[in-house]
Amino acid sequence: LRGMFDAWTLMCRQRPAIRDFLADATAGHYVRVLRQPTFRYFDALVPRWLSGGGAAPRPAEPDVHFDRPETDQLRRMDVPYFVRSLEGGPVLGVEPPPGPFATSRVAARPEPEGGWP
C-alpha cells in the first residue's frame, strides 16, 4: 500500500505537469465508448447468428433499448462500436468497411508454428 500512496501523492503534486503531458500526448487520438455492456449486444446477436442473419437484432431483456446507430451496427452482425476524441466532443459511430467481406483459402492442415501442436 505504501507504493500506491506514494504514487497518488506524487500525482497530486504533479497535476499540472501530468495534465500538460496528457493534453499533448492525446491530441488526435480516440477512445472507445461503451454505451451499453457488451453482453447486451451479444445477447441480441445470438439469435441473429443462429438464424444465419434472418432474425432481427432485439434486446434479450424488455427494459433494454437500442438506438438507431446501435441497431444499424447489430444488423451488420457487429457489436456496436463507438469512439470519442480524447479532447472531448461527440460520441462517433464507426462506419462499416468500404468493401465487402472477403475470404481466402487456407491449408486444410496448417503446419505447426513455434512449437504449437
Buried-exposed string 48-58: b where 16+ CB fall within 10 A, e elsewhere: beeeeeeeebe
The structural domain count of the chain equals: 1
Residue-wise pLDDT for 10-42, tens only, equals 999 999 999 899 888 888 889 999 899 999 999
How far is Cα 57 from Cα 70, in angstroms, rounded to an integer? Answer: 10
Single-letter amino acid code for the residue at 92? L
Q: Is residue 85 part of a domain?
A: yes
Supply the range of the domain harboring residue 61: 29-93
Does some domain include residue 111?
no
Whether 16 maps to a domain, the answer reads no
pLDDT at residue 90, as a whole number: 94
Residue 102 lies in a domain: no
Residue listed under C-alpha cell 456496436: 80
Residue 114 has pLDDT above 80, yes or no: no
Whether 18 maps to a domain, the answer reads no
**In-domain check, residue 114:** no
Q: For the chain, how are helix, strand and coil distributed in percent, rounded to 5?
A: 40, 10, 55
